[in-house]
Amino acid sequence: MTLDPQLLETKELYGILSTAVAPRPIAFASTVDGAGRVNLSPFSYFNVFSSVPPILVFSPIRRGRDGSAKDTLNNINEIAEVTISVVNFDMVEQTSLASTEYETGVNEFDKAGFTEEASEVVRPPRVKESPVSFECTVDQVIALGDGGGAGNLVVARVVRIHLDEGMLDEDGNLDTVKLDLVARMGGSYYCRATPDNLFEIPKPLRNLGMGVDQLPHHIRNSNILTGNNLGRLGNLEKLPGGDLLKSVGEREEVQQALREGDAALHRLARRYLEQDNSLEALAVLLQGR
């Protein structure tokens, strides 16, 4: 199926984009208007875009029904400051409640049961219950349109960072597991960064992966190895040397797989990969043809 976005209704287009481009982190944005009234609202069109300078960008989209701007955008146009708090599992239901379209001037901190914590540099308060909050000044707002569903990129410069020290590991770094963050999916779905759902992939930052194209043909075209398996093998710098090939080849389980054929070798190598023994897995595979 191929679709032309210009031919889709706003609701349908939003549904496709927000479901396919996910999971998305949540910016819990606190702003104030010219009269000092506080607004708190979550936005999942959000991410970090620069470290130096530290820049966060989120986008309050205009209401689909009439193209009107949300209070967050109106407030930022009056007072170019915002605090952005991250959302973890312990606060996600309250965060969802804060997305209710209350009348202008209603304080969602009160409606959702959150605690206002005074900021040091900017006027909007931050969410005390959040494990990490950023005080930001707004560099610019880039309007992407003026109709319903149009985004407005709020480019926010971080001027203070507040961390819950209970979320740090023994080295003083933020601990992903302790943070227990949630993210938005499509429709009413969220996802949670639990230990069972977390996994690590060796990053080819300092080492130059040799690439899948350097693997022998029978490995690249395996009916047993997955694309992820090939990606892990291609992340290795080079093919294993003779000593490793010899020692791996002498293992009884490898000898048994050799007697059974390439399919057995590939299944054994996949098991090695699942145990994070990438180089040995490749050595197993190279015992074949």
C-alpha span between 208 and 204 (Å, rounded): 6
pLDDT tens-digit profile of 26-79? 999 999 999 999 999 999 999 999 999 999 999 999 988 888 889 999 999 999
Q: What is the pLDDT of residue 64?
A: 80
Q: What percent of the chain has pLDDT over 70?
A: 99
Q: What is the pLDDT of residue 205?
A: 64
C-alpha span between 232 and 281 (Å, rounded): 10
Average pLDDT, the chain: 94
pLDDT tens-digit profile of 153-195? 999 999 999 999 999 999 999 999 999 999 999 999 999 999 9
Q: What is the pLDDT of residue 201?
A: 83
pLDDT tens-digit profile of 93-139? 999 999 999 999 999 999 999 999 999 999 999 999 999 999 999 99
C-alpha span between 53 and 59 (Å, rounded): 19
Can you tell me which residue has the tokens 């507040």? 162
Backbone phi, psi, residue 84, to 5°: -120, 120
For residue 179, CA distances in Å to 86, 87, 130, 182 come to 9, 9, 10, 9
C-alpha span between 248 and 266 (Å, rounded): 14
Query: Cα dihedral sign for 220, 223, 227, 232?
Result: negative
Best CA proximity match to 277, nearest among 165, 285, 182: 285
Best CA proximity match to 233, nearest among 185, 273, 184: 273
Q: What is the pLDDT of residue 204?
A: 67
Residue 207 has pLDDT above 90, yes or no: no
What is the end-to-end Cα distance of the chain in Å, rounded?
40
3-state secondary structure 155-195: EEEEEEEEECHHHECCCCCECHHHHCEEEECCCCCEEECCH
Amino acid at 142: I
Identify any residues that bridge with 184 across adjacent strands, giving them in sequence order.
24, 190
For the chain, list the domains and their CATH numbers: 5-197 (2.30.110.10), 212-285 (no CATH)
- Quick one: how far is CA 73 from the chain centroid? 24
